[in-house]
Structure 1
Amino acid sequence: MKVREAELTDAFSIAKVNIDSWRNTDKGIIADEYLNNLNYEKKEQAMKNIIINSTKDKNMYLLLKIIAHPKYACK
């Protein structure tokens, strides 16, 4: 696994994971209307704002699981 600071290019992926997680784990707990109205573009912009406004003491980090293709795996 690898940890790195989030970059602006990560914003949409972060938004998608966030919204899809809410929709999958909170269905039946949170109103469907709320979950259905979650918006990828709005969440992406919110993530961009967080990344842009990061400081030395307050950053967003990503935990990445690197999955190697068997063809390229170390032997």
Structure 2
Amino acid sequence: MFIARINVTLKESVLDPQGSTVQGTLHELGESSVQDVRVGKYIEVKLDSPDIASAQKIVDRICEKLLVNHVIETYRSEIIPA
């Protein structure tokens, strides 16, 4: 059993209005050192897989099919034993 931790973010070339809003609010709160904010999604999936390599293949497949819009998003994943 493995847990996949998947982080999905907008590609750098895609405008992130939510990130811009967060950055603006942080600046209003006096956090002027914040230069950029990108907001994304965190997804955790428990997988019944015999090994990490198989688990990674499953993660890649479900990201391709459902979790990630590859036109505007990118993802990275970490797989750990459950």
TM-score (norm 2): 0.29
Q: Which has the higher helix share?
A: 1
Q: Which has the higher strand share?
A: 2
TM-score (norm 1): 0.31
